[in-house]
Amino acid sequence: MKIGIDISQIVYEGTGVSRFTKGLIEAILKYDNINEWVFFFSSLRENLDVGIEKKIENKGHKLIKWKLPPTLLSFLWNDLHHFPPSLPDLDWFITSDWTEPPLPDMKKATVIHDLAYVRYPETVHETIRKTQEKRLNWVKKESQMIFADSESTKNDLVELLSFPNKHILVNYPGVEILKPSKNHIEDVLKKHELTNTEFILTVGKLEPRKNFERLIQAYQKLHNPEIQLVIVGPEGWNNLKNLKSQMSNVKILGLVSDEELYSLYSSCLIFVYPSLWEGFGYPLIEAMQLGAPSACSKTSSLAEIGDKAVLFFNPEDTDDIAKKMGELVNSNTLRNSLESKGKERSKAFTWEKYYNTMIEGLQES
């Protein structure tokens, strides 16, 4: 097959969609020795990683680059739905998480991560909400194949937006990371002044959907100043501005490198993921893979991904969040049990499995 794919979303470092895009590119380049690929990339200010460009070239695939802002492409393709990109003849084109180009002469597939903008519209920036509404309107009309990150996302597509069930295939993304060395862990803890303290870790973009305000309120109810709360993630919108006066013993590290993040997962006392709604939830699986005993929201995809390997709470109930955090903090036996179960559960999510399911889905449609 000749397959095109829009990889523009890779530039948004620290987000799940960037992590997904990078992982998928690597999987295609690693596991596919049969199909021809055309990688499409557009960004006005950001550049594609040189290493990825080189890998695409070495594998004999094609890369098309445009210098256009995503807002313009959204207007041209999601609003006007005109001006298709100039592409070679393809059997399939896999569109991005942001724009849906008109491609009347070829089959289209796309990946849908979540419908948080429908479930919790007040927690999603208006620009993102409107863009997704327009994009998915065209996806519903024109896409022959949809890869949903979870059963939760598939159910939302069918129940909330009336997507045809026959076009949707659940495909769990892969999570494959390298365990950091002891020396690297020590360097990271020293850098962030965490050498002499135990800490609770949480990860995510600083925006309302990630529910960090309630997490901080729950953390304060633990009344344990010897344990810090560490928040890692890029700046979002409306982030924690109302809680600055209440954030004693809370460290916000901002965006860190993947290597630093892996060291933080490996050394935290527990990992907590209080997000209101997730289509997949990379941080939870990364934490489990690196042995962090975890507690998370019993909502959306997190309930199916966490399965029996995490402690669940109601993300809208600060008392319940605090209770479950306290149980983990105070029980070495519980932490050891969840560490073991989490490592085993995380083995279910591999990029080889994702790639094989994706190719089989395209071949059969």
User: 25 near 174, Cβ under 8 Å?
Assistant: no
First vs last C-alpha separation in the chain: 12
In the beta sheet, which residues pair with residue 6? 40
User: 64 near 101, Cβ under 8 Å?
Assistant: no
Q: Roughly what angle, to the nearest 10 degrees, separates helices 282-289 and 258-267?
A: 60
The pair of structure tokens assigned to 328 is 């983990």
Distance CA 277, CA 120 (A): 8
Distance CA 265, CA 255 (A): 14
Which residues, in sequence order, are CB contacts of 53 under 8 Å at separation 6+? Answer: 63
Burial of 241 (0-12, 13-18, 19+ CB in 10 A): exposed
**Quick check: do 2-174+350-364 and 182-346 share a fold?**
yes
In the beta sheet, which residues pair with residue 300? none
Q: In Å, what is the CA distance from 156 to each residue of 176, 243, 350, 361? A: 27, 32, 24, 20
Cα 196 → chain centroid: 31
- Torsion, Cα 96 98 102 105, to 10 degrees, reads 10
Query: Is the pTM above the cut of 0.85?
Result: yes
Tens-digit pLDDT string for the chain (365 aa)? 999 999 999 999 888 899 999 999 999 999 999 999 999 999 999 999 999 999 999 999 999 999 999 999 999 999 999 999 999 999 999 999 999 999 999 999 999 999 999 999 988 889 999 999 999 999 999 999 999 999 999 999 999 999 999 999 999 999 989 899 999 999 999 999 999 889 999 999 988 999 999 999 999 999 898 999 999 999 887 656 555 545 778 999 999 999 999 999 999 999 999 999 999 999 999 999 999 999 999 999 999 999 999 999 999 999 999 999 999 999 999 999 999 999 999 999 999 999 999 999 999 98
Q: Are strands 36-42 and 62-66 parallel, antiparallel or unpaired?
A: parallel
pLDDT at 246: 58
Which residues, in sequence order, are CB contacts of 111 under 8 Å at separation 6+? Answer: 20, 94, 97, 146, 147, 148, 149
Domain spans of the chain? 2-174+350-364, 182-346
Match domain 182-346 to its CATH number in 3.20.20.150, 3.40.50.2000, 3.40.50.880, 3.30.565.10. 3.40.50.2000
Cα 343 → chain centroid: 19
Total residues found in the chain within this entry:
365
Distance CA 26, CA 10 (A): 12
Strands (E), the chain: 2-6, 36-42, 62-66, 92-95, 107-112, 145-148, 168-170, 198-203, 227-232, 250-254, 270-273, 294-297, 311-313
HSE toward the beta carbon, residue 151, CA cutoff 13 A:
6
Could you tell me the fold of the domain covering 2-174+350-364? Rossmann fold (3.40.50)
351: nearest Cα among 17, 24, 4: 24
305: nearest Cα among 172, 119, 157, 146: 172
Hey, what amino acid is at 289? Answer: Q
pLDDT at 330: 96
